[in-house]
């Protein structure tokens, strides 16, 4: 069972994690023997060059994919022993996402996009909560707009509102500012950290941007599928 009531429990615990892809009978090791633990409230950046395995690691941590060997424990639950629907439930209850390319549903309005995680939980006062978050990200007046009627920065703000709507304990951000210009990127970054503080969320960011990584408590550096450093920011 998911155990998320105790404050001292590790939010995320990775042991001897590997991911190997088989293509044309050739094995490609993308992640090799990854071990780390993340505590509640920590903000962590996973950095590394392209192809170092950052996104694969994020996918495994969030239960979007299955490891070839090793374990991923999210709030004490071993993701490897859960089926896809059980992992979906775990994500919905505990996890929020922010993507580089926003990943909003194009056929739903901004408001509808934000309500989805709440609706999936069967929460009450869904619309009010979603509007409150949209207000918080400064998009109250754009709530009925569709994604293609919003700018990139606005879309990422909707994405932020959606990520926080189910009050996740753990937030994954995959290059959250990668598709935005510097100024807009800075604003989104600020909003992300502000919201993270307000909601007391554990944050894991995958990024190239060392400046962004510098704002987190801890930086895990990957190279060729291995952790080459795991350091705390002062």
Partner 1 sequence: MNWKFLFRIALADAKTQWGKLFLFISSIVLGIAALVAINSFNDNIVKDIDRQSASILGADIVVSGNKSLPANLSPALNAIPGQKASEYELLSMAYIPKNEGSQFVRIKALEGNFPFYGKLITQPETASKDFKANGTVLADKAFMRQFSLEPGDKIKLGDEDFIIEGRLMNNLGAGNLASGFAPIIYIPFDKLESTNLVQPGSMIDYAYYHQVPKEFDANLWKEENKQAFRQESMRINTIDDQRENLNEAFNSLNSFLNLVALVSLLLGCIGVASSVFIYVKNKISSIAIFRCLGMKSNEAFVIYFLQILVLGILGSVIGAVLGSAVQLFLPKVFGEFLPFQVVTELSWPSIIQGLSLGLIITVLFALIPLLEIRKISPLRTLRSNFSEEGTGTRDPLVWMCYLAIIVALSIFLYSLTGSILNAAIFIVGILLAFFVLYLVSQLIIRLVRKFFPRHWSFVLRQGLANLYRPNNQTQILLVSLGLGTTILSTLFIVQSLILENVNAMDAGAQPNMILFGIETNQMHDLKNKTKSFDMPIVEEVPIVTMRIEGWKGRTKKEWLADTTANVRRWAANRETRVTYRDTLDSSEKLIAGEFVGNIENPGDSIFISLDEGYAENLNIGLGDEMVFNVQGMLLTTYVSSFREIEFASMRTRFFVLFPRGVLENAPQFQVLVTKAPNEDVMTKYRTEVVKAFPNVSVVDLSSILTTLNDILKKISYAVQFMAGFSILTGLIVLLSSLILSKFQRVRESVLLRTLGASRSQILKINATEYLLIGVLAAFTGILISILASWLVVNFQLDFEYKIRWMPILLVFLFIVLMTLFIGLWTTRDVVNKSPLETLRKDIQ
Residues at the contact surface with partner 1, assessed by CB under 8 A = 55, 58-59, 62, 64-65, 84-85, 88-93, 95, 97, 99, 103-109, 112, 116-117, 119-122, 146-148, 162, 166, 174
* Min dist. Cβ of residue 58 to partner 1 (A): 7
Q: Pick between residue 90 and residue 213 the one whose CB is nearest to partner 1.
A: 90
Q: Pick between residue 20 and residue 108 the one whose CB is nearest to partner 1.
A: 108
* Min dist. Cβ of residue 232 to partner 1 (A): 27
> What is the DSSP pairing of strand 77-78 with strand 26-38?
unpaired
* Contacts (Cβ under 8 Å, ≥6 apart) of 217: 42, 43, 44, 232, 233
* Min dist. Cβ of residue 106 to partner 1 (A): 4
* Min dist. Cβ of residue 41 to partner 1 (A): 22
* Min dist. Cβ of residue 24 to partner 1 (A): 14
Q: Pick between residue 139 and residue 150 the one whose CB is nearest to partner 1.
A: 150
* CA of residue 102 relative to chain centroid, distance: 12
* Min dist. Cβ of residue 55 to partner 1 (A): 5
Structure tokens of 4?
A: 């998320």
In angstroms, rounded to a whole number, what is the distance separating the alpha carbons of residues 65 and 54? 13
Structure tokens of 129?
A: 């909560």
Spell out a b/e string for 6-22, using b for 16 or more CB atoms within 10 Å of the CB, else e.
Answer: eeeeebbbbeebbbeee
Residue in 1, 3, 70 with CA at minimum distance from that of residue 40: 3
Q: Pick between residue 62 and residue 227 the one whose CB is nearest to partner 1.
A: 62
What angle do helix axes 182-199 and 152-165 make, rounded to 10 degrees? 10
Tokens 């990584």 sit on residue: 213
Q: Pick between residue 117 and residue 185 the one whose CB is nearest to partner 1.
A: 117
């Amino acid at each position: 069972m998911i155990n998320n009531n105790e404050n001292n429990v590790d939010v995320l615990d990775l042991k001897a994690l590997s991911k190997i892809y088989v293509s044309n009978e050739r094995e490609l090791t993308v992640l090799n023997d990854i071990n780390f633990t993340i505590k509640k409230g920590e903000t962590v950046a996973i950095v590394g060059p392209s192809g170092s395995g950052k996104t694969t690691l994020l996918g495994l941590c969030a239960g979007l994919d299955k490891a070839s060997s090793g374990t991923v424990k999210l709030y004490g639950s071993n993701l490897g022993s859960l089926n896809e629907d059980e992992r979906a439930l775990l994500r919905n209850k505990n996890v929020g996402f922010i993507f580089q390319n926003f990943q909003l549903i194009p056929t739903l309005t901004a408001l509808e996009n934000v309500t989805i995680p709440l609706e999936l939980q069967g929460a009450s006062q869904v619309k009010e909560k979603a509007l409150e978050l949209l207000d918080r990200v400064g998009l109250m007046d754009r709530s009925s707009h569709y994604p293609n009627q919003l700018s990139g920065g606005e879309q990422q703000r909707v994405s932020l509102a959606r990520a926080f709507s189910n009050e996740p304990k753990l937030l994954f951000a995959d290059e959250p500012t990668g598709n935005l210009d510097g100024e807009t990127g800075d604003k989104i970054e600020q909003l992300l950290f502000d919201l993270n503080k307000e909601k007391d969320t554990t944050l894991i960011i995958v990024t190239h941007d060392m400046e962004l990584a510098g704002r987190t408590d801890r930086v895990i550096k990957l190279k060729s599928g291995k952790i080459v450093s795991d350091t705390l920011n002062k």
